[in-house]
Structure 1
């Protein structure tokens, strides 16, 4: 049995060792695998997955994906004839493949962000299910290699609400994709647990007396808040429904911080906030489309031929055409992920240092940008305010003030965020957990409890 944090930004696996959760080291990835996948062609993902499956899963999969498998075989033949590799890569290796040739192959980051999207066609849902299954298959194989045994029972983390506009319908769609993918790759028992609740379980293990704990879990795609009654007595219970005092959640997470930082701090060097020759402000829509890597529709619009013509016209009309030429390069060379990744790495660096230098000379010679923590705070004010609203909502629902705020998730490391949260609840203790590991550890504890 394992705890499986299939996260928006990173994936991790936990097992119980000597009554304590332990995060596994998974091959060359280490304990955390970035939630990214790269394929030389999108069409071959289904074929790669097919090879990983065992019978009878393989037989039923072949019937369900007959046309996709044939299309993939055609793509495999073309890749082989042209001398291209045909394997998938995951984590940092996937990002490296993308950065080497952004306009080639198929790269996806944070597929979890898309699972609750409204308006997905059946073939799109099938593609996302295959992407998730491929990533799960890779992680499951690494887990079994690390443990030296098979694993077939898991608890998977889930946000309170997935990213999507249709509420419960979006949640049902996302959970179905995750459940189908997990069972397809060999998990016989699959349960889900709310990520903020799981993070709370890990904090609870350290308590010696009862406390009201506001868990703030800032994931890659969502932020979830849960007010929980915690303590030694509660930890021994199998039914925690009465201990869960309130829930709140919104589609704002670490990825949104990255995108906001890219738009507000990097895109001005690509023409945002500049002027047209007429003196009118530069239209801003294209800059949002360029950086919205978690929005299928906006990215499709940005990379359309129609938008390429629009950007070329903007260059002709711009007071500073050299800036808009950089944006056209992003469009033509498919560099959206490259720019947002630069923002993400800057956000991470600003947790340890007050300023950060960004080198974008691969996009345009001489393009350098300097950022600092105040720049980060200003760029992400909307995201910070959204988290504050979620905290307020959870406290109001519970009709009680927390004794402590337990914060987890990658962005929880940021001094800017920690200072902001303290301002929201002055005098309340703020505890920052294991930034990535808290959820995984809590899922592992729950898996051990329900499957034991």
Structure 2
């Protein structure tokens, strides 16, 4: 039996097995050159027809049909009482009997209700729980390509991890258990196939604080969902390790003496920081909590930068800031709602017919309505996730270029947006201030100062982020390491310890 580490990230996920000496990355996405890393997004879709509508929708439609039949009965009664002769009264009486029989024929009403619902129902009308229970799953680039090609056939959950600590309504918690179980099972089966042995144990990375606004209740809910999902996915033993501590376990194997290290892990959805005592003498120790001098984190990751870049630099080309005839601006909420790919209720509201009508009414009140047509296109074609992904790509390109042209031709033909690194810096200012505040908090809470700095996570590759952190921590030596794999490798090391693959 093998034990694996799973870095279940906001943007990407990966799986690794550590044999005590070497890390073995599990290939998860053959379509990519770096096949061990996979998008965390999931596309749930239907190849053919949609499933039977949920019971509440059927019951509501049946009630609507019954109201219509009742109205017809009342009209038939009026006809009966107003009929001038017995023959016409019999016609109305027979009609009343037919309608009453129809009113009480539940199987026929149910069949008719389902037929009517399926005529107009879309995937967006299905509750997430039913979607998870009945849909097909596509992971990684395969899922994203399916979404780009046929968004109307399914629903893209851009970042499942971001919902785990949120206030989930009835049925949603069970839905996310089922959804994540599918992902974890895919990881487990991939590992078993490539390692040639059964996998029963997993150490899964977790942020210090999960994305959400519910504090410790949200963290507990997130761990509960992940634990249930891991059990459903076929793992008999699962443990969780805070991501910056996992990264510390990886870099500890490169040290030749006791060192206090400040680990700053800036991922797609969260920023997590710890100050920890590391030593080559403690490599085999399973429990290291006594070595953690300070740890902190918040729901503050690279995805916020993607959204901020849209709001600051792309949204103005879609009508943001335009004034209506009454002198009021186009509602700014249009654009924040458009970017809410990690908030299912808000995104569903943005994609609703009522929201389309609201934007259309606003468009009619503008002197120059053309720009708002781009916003309507995103709303009608459900292109929010694609736009946020484009912004992420722009952010990455601006890490090595001073200026780029971002093509958004899927929104409008020849629609290009010119972006430069100064705009990116401006869009990141408030975000960077919060990150630096978090670093300062961790340092203030630590019983001893750090002797080295290690920056990891996807955002650590940004020259803007790196410069701000080095300016905040002048003179602190920086450890070089893998920005993407350090956390997962540390999780693999911990998994090996739990399975006794690393001798004490």
TM-score norm. by structure 2 comes to 0.79
Q: Is 2:424 the counterpart of 1:376?
A: yes
Q: Is 2:272 the counterpart of 1:224?
A: yes
Q: Is 2:186 the counterpart of 1:138?
A: yes
Query: Is the CA contact (8 Å cut-off) linking 1:45 and 1:88 kept in structure 2?
Result: no
Q: Is 2:410 the counterpart of 1:408?
A: no
Determine helix, strand or coil for the equivalent of 2:308. helix
Counterparts of 1:225-240 in structure 2, within 5 Å, are 225-240=273-288
Q: Distance in 2 between matches of 1:385 and 1:325?
A: 35
C-alpha spacing 1:404/1:129, structure 2 compared with 1 (3 Å): same
Aligned counterpart in structure 1 of residue 148 of structure 2, from 69, 84, 99: 99
Query: Is the CA contact (8 Å cut-off) linking 1:277 and 1:319 kept in structure 2?
Result: yes
What is the RMSD computed on CA atoms of the aligned residues?
2.5
C-alpha distance after superposition, 1:145-197 (max 9, x if no partner):
11122101110111111112111111111111111111111101101111110
Q: What is residue 258 of structure 1 aligned with on the other side?
A: 306
Counterparts of 1:2-151 in structure 2, within 5 Å, are 2-17=4-19, 19-26=21-28, 28=30, 30-41=35-46, 87-118=136-167, 120-151=168-199
Query: Is the CA contact (8 Å cut-off) linking 2:46 and 2:136 kept in structure 1?
Result: no
Q: What is residue 341 of structure 1 aligned with on the other side?
A: 389
C-alpha distance after superposition, 1:276-305 (max 9, x if no partner):
234433320110000111122321331222
C-alpha spacing 1:237/1:409, structure 2 compared with 1 (3 Å): same
Aligned counterpart in structure 1 of residue 317 of structure 2, from 262, 269, 282: 269
Deviation at 1:86, TM superposition (A): 6.8
Q: Distance in 2 between matches of 1:22 and 1:407?
A: 23
C-alpha distance after superposition, 1:82-104 (max 9, x if no partner):
xxx97421101111111112333
Query: Is the CA contact (8 Å cut-off) linking 2:29 and 2:37 kept in structure 1?
Result: no
Q: Which has the larger radius of gyration?
A: 2
Deviation at 1:350, TM superposition (A): 2.3
Query: Is the CA contact (8 Å cut-off) linking 1:272 and 1:282 kept in structure 2?
Result: yes
Give aligned pairs, total.
419
Query: Is the CA contact (8 Å cut-off) linking 1:408 and 1:432 kept in structure 2?
Result: no
Q: Is 2:366 the counterpart of 1:366?
A: no
Q: Distance in 2 between matches of 1:265 and 1:271?
A: 11
Q: What is residue 335 of structure 2 aligned with on the other side?
A: 287
Q: Distance in 2 between matches of 1:12 and 1:116?
A: 21
Determine helix, strand or coil for the equivalent of 1:275. coil
Q: Distance in 1 between matches of 2:246 and 2:50?
A: 32
Q: Distance in 2 between matches of 1:163 and 1:269?
A: 30
Name which of structure 1's ranges 194-203 and 314-323 shifts more when overlaid on structure 2: 314-323
Determine helix, strand or coil for the equivalent of 2:30. helix
Q: Distance in 2 between matches of 1:388 and 1:248?
A: 12
Q: Distance in 1 between matches of 2:166 and 2:135?
A: 29
Q: What is residue 386 of structure 1 aligned with on the other side?
A: 434
Q: Distance in 2 between matches of 1:141 and 1:240?
A: 30
Determine helix, strand or coil for the equivalent of 1:221. coil
Determine helix, strand or coil for the equivalent of 1:356. strand
Q: Distance in 1 between matches of 2:495 and 2:334?
A: 45
C-alpha spacing 1:41/1:87, structure 2 compared with 1 (3 Å): closer
C-alpha distance after superposition, 1:230-286 (max 9, x if no partner):
121343433312210011111111211211112212111111123223443332011
Deviation at 1:399, TM superposition (A): 4.3
Q: Distance in 2 between matches of 1:395 and 1:351?
A: 28
Q: What is residue 55 of structure 1 aligned with on the other side?
A: none
Query: Is the CA contact (8 Å cut-off) linking 1:373 and 1:416 kept in structure 2?
Result: no
Q: What is residue 228 of structure 2 aligned with on the other side?
A: 180
C-alpha spacing 1:271/1:314, structure 2 compared with 1 (3 Å): same
Deviation at 1:408, TM superposition (A): 0.8
Q: Distance in 2 between matches of 1:451 and 1:403?
A: 32
Q: Which runs of 5+ in 2 are unaligned?
A: 52-113, 123-133
Q: Distance in 2 between matches of 1:259 and 1:411?
A: 14
C-alpha distance after superposition, 1:199-255 (max 9, x if no partner):
111111111122221111112211111111112134343331221001111111121
Determine helix, strand or coil for the equivalent of 1:226. strand
Q: Distance in 1 between matches of 2:198 and 2:497?
A: 19
Deviation at 1:363, TM superposition (A): 0.7
Deviation at 1:417, TM superposition (A): 0.9
Query: Is the CA contact (8 Å cut-off) linking 1:40 and 1:105 kept in structure 2?
Result: yes
C-alpha distance after superposition, 1:402-447 (max 9, x if no partner):
2222111111111111111112112222335312211100001111
Determine helix, strand or coil for the equivalent of 2:453. strand
Query: Is the CA contact (8 Å cut-off) linking 1:413 and 1:432 kept in structure 2?
Result: no
